[in-house]
Structure 1
Amino acid sequence: MPGPQLDPVESNATLPAEVDVVIIGGGIAGVCTALELVERGKTVALCEKGEIGAEQSSRNWGWVRLTHRDPREMPLMVESVRLWKAMNDRIGDETGYRQCGVTYTVTDDKVLASEGEAAEELQKYQIPARILNANEVREAFPGFSLDIKGALHNPHDGRAEPQKAAPAIARAVQARGGSVHQYCAVRTLETADGKVTGAVTEKGPIKCSAVLVAGGVWSRLFLGNLGIELPQLRTKGTVMRTEPVADGQEQTLKSPGFALRKRLDGGYNIASAAPSRYQLTPDSFRLFRAFLPTLKNEWRNISLGLGPAFFDALRTPRRWTAKDVTPFEKSRILDPEPDRPRIDKVLDLVKRDYAPFKGAKVAQRWAGYIDVMPDIIPVISETKGVKNGIDGLFVATGFSGHGFGLGTGAGLLAADLITGRAPCVDPTPFRLHRFSDGSKITPTLGVTQR
């Protein structure tokens, strides 16, 4: 079975000749930026090489969490949750957002002490996270039998539906006058005097004064063709969904071996709590030095694999012109094979440790590619000022497994940068320039994904 079934979005019939902003990429960051811009009176064309939300924006766990965030992301994540809470009413559609709470169980006293520190950090943001003892966890999750020391519980963490959210927001963009163009890859940009003047799509040119690249794992390739360096790699994650489960809890649960959250359809998304399997590509070697700090800190947690992604990348052109058929047109939707043995072992753990799931039936398995930066935080930035940067060209990518929850805030910040409005949070940590201005690039330990 192919990837997750998305809610439909009907493309606009006509490509506009001119808009204020062209957005490249119809994932959660791209559609949220488009929504912010059209609500500010800007004309927007959102161009997606495949379908809205069809890659990692529909393949992630569906978590919207404040817990275990990199401190540099926290202000933006607070903004993101504020926006998620209001999104259904704002767009008059269902994104699946629910503030259900998440419980993070631990089996080690040292880890529990660390979770206590995490709860104290969250209190600084008026987030009432607290430590639960083992009995409190079992009361909240009847039938949970894993021998644990306790858990961190954050009632402000939540969930949304990846297969619904980006499409619903894209339809809201259209309702407000923006246009959405699927199967319409942007090949390159037109510039004059170092400024953006247009985007060249496979269906024709669009004049504009600003472009946002929100292309997920494709962003490095697109920017590289313009001579702009983005040190981005990819890793593969696998997710399973079940058929509806009787007596399953509304709360999301994470244990040392698995993570699960309820879906609107009554089933559950289940994934491994262990790090994703890293897929080696030629860029892994090109960017070895840039990612060395990450390797030094996380090498024990990295699971390496050499598979089709390596050879696909070898065959992928890295340079092309506006007249060429681009890699984006040759690979519309990345739909990698799920790691079935690994995810099935995760389901075995769930069935062993959580009684309501003993009879759970698998409805679907899928995988997706996650875009990763050396310091595990995104780039939300202008490109002007970096080598070969272009005035009017912006980037929102590299969310490193944290992007679905951050998507609403990322869209707000990107729109602020594009329109020149005072930014909703300090954009300094997310600047592209950090990789070339001598800044120390360091990942934060203990940050989890999704």
Structure 2
Amino acid sequence: MSESSLPNGASVVVIGAGVTGLSAAWWLARDGYDVVVLDKGIVGWEASGRNGGGCSHYQSPLFVEEQRLWPQMDELLGYPTEHRPERIILQRDPHLLDHYRTVGQMCSAMGYRVDDLDSKQAQEMVPLTDETCLGGIHLRFGGHANPQRTVQAFAWALQDLGGRIFQYCPAQSIETVGGRVTAVHTPRGPIACDALVVAAGPQTGMLLEPLGVNFPLASARAEMIVTEPAPMMAIGGVDGNGLYGRQTMRGNLAFGGGPHEWIDMEPSGPAARPVSPLARNLARRVAEMFPKAAHLNVIRSWAGVIENTPDGRPIIDRLNHPANVTVATLSGVGFGLSPASGHAIRDLVVDGVCSFAEISKLGLARFATLEPDWREQRGWAG
């Protein structure tokens, strides 16, 4: 996937081969732009390829576009994402059940069908649970996809359009002249560009700081576990008990869900990847949500490093200075929103404004008065 020699320049350079950067690059290449993607590792190696695969972000201004695009992505990309529609949220806590039924009413008011489930209906739809499940909601939209398949699909589709991806080629510094970015420096030499997209996950703030841009992020290690295969359920996307995840097409249960393990970052990545104590906690909660699968062994676990903004919402913005730079961090929800976030980034790069949604609330300016010690105040220090 990586070419041997870096070109002298490109119309757009994208820093970060996670799902957000790859989607942005694909949208730009669809419009005929010469795009080069740089990454310190390989495509999707951090959180983009290690997440629950959910595609139902009803609180985001990108939600409508997310829902429009996901059912089309296999056809648009030309490669499988394993997207499956619909999702179920189960609850064992009556207060949380009331909360999610309110969420369901909100989604229904937006025109997206949500059905309430009592305990019996929930057990019929999710046969791995039992009577400890009080009920839930059935989202007739959203669903889930395979993170690894999806990242690869974006990468291959981008290359089919002439886009180039350079793995193990980190951006070391960004050169500016006259208030605009002119080149990105890498170990393989500089590459000139007309526009720059920085979607480098936890490294985004470090890359922007020398440009005088304060981009507040805290990095965390988020764990997931995978079990032996279970009997296939009709709807494999199931949330609940503080968990997010899905049943794979082989039947494995792949689930994660906090708490985060806050870590310090270096330009090359986390200073260390300590063994997380969360696997046992995750296994217990999966067994509680799916009592009829409690006998299954956990066969592997993994962790992706994710970035979090102070308010937990994404940042998608085109900077005023340098004027040709678009920045993006999705703050832990990048996978599901990726078809829509890539479209929004394309619009900002080319037109300066998002064509399909009002995304000013995702702008960087909202953190202009952020306290310098905001991580310590929130208890997010590594």
Calculate the TM-score normalised by the size of structure 1.
0.77
Aligned mates of 1:334, 1:247 — CA distance in 2 = 39
Contact 1:223 1:230 in 2 (8 A): yes
Query: Which residue matches 1:222?
Result: 207
Contact 1:233 1:371 in 2 (8 A): yes
Map 1:139-288 → 2, pairs under 5 A: 139-256=124-241, 258-272=243-257, 275-279=258-262
Query: Which residue matches 2:376?
Result: none
Aligned mates of 2:32, 2:54 — CA distance in 1 = 31
Could you tell me how far 1:248 is from its partner in structure 2? 4.0
Query: 3-state DSSP class of the match of 1:268?
Result: strand
Q: Which amino acid aligns with 1:197?
A: T
Listed one character per residue, the Cα deviations across residues 326-354 of structure 1 (whole Å, up to 9, x for unaligned) are x33xx4x8883452x43223323433552
Aligned mates of 2:29, 2:114 — CA distance in 1 = 36
Query: Which residue matches 1:92?
Result: 78
Aligned mates of 1:278, 1:390 — CA distance in 2 = 33
Could you tell me how far 1:88 is from its partner in structure 2? 0.9
Quick check: 1:418 aligned with 2:349? yes
Task: Identify the match of residue 336 of structure 1 among 262, 270, 273.
Answer: 273
Could you tell me how far 1:256 is from its partner in structure 2? 1.9
Query: Which residue matches 1:3?
Result: none
- 1:261/1:412 Cα in 2 relative to 1: closer, same or farther (>3 Å)? same
Q: Which moved more, 1:114-123 or 1:212-221?
A: 114-123
Query: 3-state DSSP class of the match of 1:158?
Result: coil
Aligned mates of 2:185, 2:237 — CA distance in 1 = 43
Contact 2:181 2:194 in 1 (8 A): yes
Query: 3-state DSSP class of the match of 1:429?
Result: helix
Query: Which residue matches 1:19?
Result: 10
Query: Which residue matches 1:376?
Result: 312
Quick check: 1:354 aligned with 2:339? no
Listed one character per residue, the Cα deviations across residues 330-388 of structure 1 (whole Å, up to 9, x for unaligned) are x4x8883452x43223323433552542332322111122211111111110121xxxx
Contact 1:18 1:206 in 2 (8 A): yes
Give structure 2 stretches of 5+ with no counterpart.
Answer: 371-382
Contact 1:335 1:367 in 2 (8 A): no
Contact 2:318 2:352 in 1 (8 A): no
Query: Which residue matches 1:79?
Result: 65
Could you tell me how far 1:155 is from its partner in structure 2? 1.9
Query: Which residue matches 2:327?
Result: 395
Could you tell me how far 1:207 is from its partner in structure 2? 1.4
Query: Which residue matches 1:299?
Result: none
Aligned mates of 1:346, 1:49 — CA distance in 2 = 30
Give structure 1 stretches of 5+ with no counterpart.
Answer: 1-9, 280-308, 317-326, 439-450
Task: Identify the match of residue 135 of structure 1 among 98, 117, 120.
Answer: 120
Query: 3-state DSSP class of the match of 1:239?
Result: strand
- 1:51/1:146 Cα in 2 relative to 1: closer, same or farther (>3 Å)? farther
Aligned mates of 1:60, 1:337 — CA distance in 2 = 18
Contact 1:337 1:367 in 2 (8 A): no
Q: Which amino acid aligns with 1:396?
A: A
Query: Which residue matches 1:62?
Result: 53
Q: Which amino acid aligns with 1:256?
A: N
Contact 2:117 2:135 in 1 (8 A): yes
Task: Identify the match of residue 106 of structure 2 among 121, 136, 152.
Answer: 121
- 1:337/1:267 Cα in 2 relative to 1: closer, same or farther (>3 Å)? farther
Could you tell me how far 1:227 is from its partner in structure 2? 2.2
Query: 3-state DSSP class of the match of 2:138?
Result: strand
Could you tell me how far 1:174 is from its partner in structure 2? 0.9
- 1:122/1:87 Cα in 2 relative to 1: closer, same or farther (>3 Å)? same
Could you tell me how far 1:409 is from its partner in structure 2? 0.9
Quick check: 1:430 aligned with 2:362? yes
Could you tell me how far 1:58 is from its partner in structure 2? 0.9
Could you tell me how far 1:408 is from its partner in structure 2? 1.4
Contact 1:102 1:251 in 2 (8 A): yes
Contact 1:23 1:213 in 2 (8 A): yes
Q: Which amino acid aligns with 2:40?
A: K
Could you tell me how far 1:30 is from its partner in structure 2? 0.2
Aligned mates of 1:37, 1:102 — CA distance in 2 = 31
Query: Which residue matches 1:38?
Result: 29
- 1:109/1:357 Cα in 2 relative to 1: closer, same or farther (>3 Å)? closer
Aligned mates of 1:432, 1:145 — CA distance in 2 = 45
Query: 3-state DSSP class of the match of 2:190?
Result: strand
Query: Which residue matches 2:380?
Result: none
Contact 2:228 2:252 in 1 (8 A): yes
Task: Identify the match of residue 404 of structure 1 among 335, 353, 358.
Answer: 335
Aligned mates of 1:47, 1:260 — CA distance in 2 = 29
